[in-house]
């Protein structure tokens, strides 16, 4: 397997397809690099080098007890970029991966980065607080934790219903897509899965977003049942100077799969600008 090793000896698995300007994909919770294969095959076929890693604690990467937090996720991404000596990189992050991209820019800047894309991303802050009244109450995330601890296999069988909008009239979500979600989720380490809930829900990315100084595309479905658009992309688009917001009417959280052709088209157009 292709891996890099971080400073705390965690092995990060990555897949590296194609040649050309590098595009790095950061996946959502509790998935892996496999969640990006529709985009990777498409963009690699159009002349780009597509790289997607399994976040620590997820997929085929190591499952360390410590370091399952957004700062370390971002530093792992920095290690990958530096060890592969990538420049002029396009960063694309979905959901939790969008937080990883934001924290990377907040901690490491944009010297090696050309553009960024946030898709259904968690920034600036998912949690409802006094200063973020549009967020979700902590009870929502406590409920996720409780469900994962009680029976995570069943939870990962149930979650795709909301994730892909299968509970909406006329939705077409295959059993295969649901099974793929479950398989990726069950590859992840139990500790990493639990810790990541806190990372994606309680991390405040406000100051990170203010450091974006590159062209940024923000994509979000307005029927996202996992990361509601109001406290996420609508807010982020106002914080990132010069960003472009594309709202997909009626689209769910997992729109990179359910609307992959439209997402791929929009990504290619933005990358070519």
Catalytic annotation, residues: 95, 224, 253
Question: Which pairs from 270-273 meet CB under 8 Å and 24+ separation?
Answer: 270/115, 270/117, 270/215, 270/217, 270/244, 271/21, 271/23, 271/43, 271/48, 271/90, 271/115, 273/215
A 10 A CB-CB count for 196 gives: 25
Please name every residue paired with 91 in a beta bridge, in sequence order, or none if there are none: 24, 116
């Amino acid at each position: 397997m292709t891996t890099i090793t971080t400073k705390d000896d965690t092995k990060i698995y990555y897949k590296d397809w194609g040649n050309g300007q590098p595009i790095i994909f950061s996946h959502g919770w509790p998935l892996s690099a496999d969640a990006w294969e529709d985009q990777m095959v498409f963009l690699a076929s159009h002349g780009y080098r597509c790289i997607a890693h399994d976040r620590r604690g997820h997929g085929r990467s190591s499952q360390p007890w410590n370091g399952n937090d957004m700062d370390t996720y971002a530093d792992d991404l920095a290690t990958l970029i530096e060890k592969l000596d990538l420049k002029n990189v396009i960063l694309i992050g979905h959901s939790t991966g969008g937080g990883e991209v934001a924290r990377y820019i907040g901690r490491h800047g944009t010297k090696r980065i050309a553009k960024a894309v946030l898709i259904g991303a968690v920034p600036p802050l998912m949690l409802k607080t006094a200063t973020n009244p549009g967020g979700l109450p902590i009870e929502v995330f406590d409920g996720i934790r409780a469900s994962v601890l009680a029976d995570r296999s069943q939870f990962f069988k149930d979650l795709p219903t909301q994730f892909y909008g299968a509970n909406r009239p006329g939705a077409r979500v295959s059993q295969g897509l649901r099974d793929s979600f479950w398989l990726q989720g069950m590859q992840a380490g139990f500790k990493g899965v639990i810790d990541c809930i806190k990372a994606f829900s309680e991390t405040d990315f406000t100051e990170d977003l203010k450091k974006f100084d590159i062209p940024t595309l923000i994509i979000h479905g307005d029927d996202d049942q996992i990361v509601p658009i109001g406290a996420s992309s609508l807010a982020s688009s106002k914080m990132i100077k010069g960003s472009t917001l594309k709202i997909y009417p009626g689209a769910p959280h997992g729109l990179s799969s359910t609307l992959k052709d439209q997402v791929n088209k929009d990504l290619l157009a933005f990358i070519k600008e």
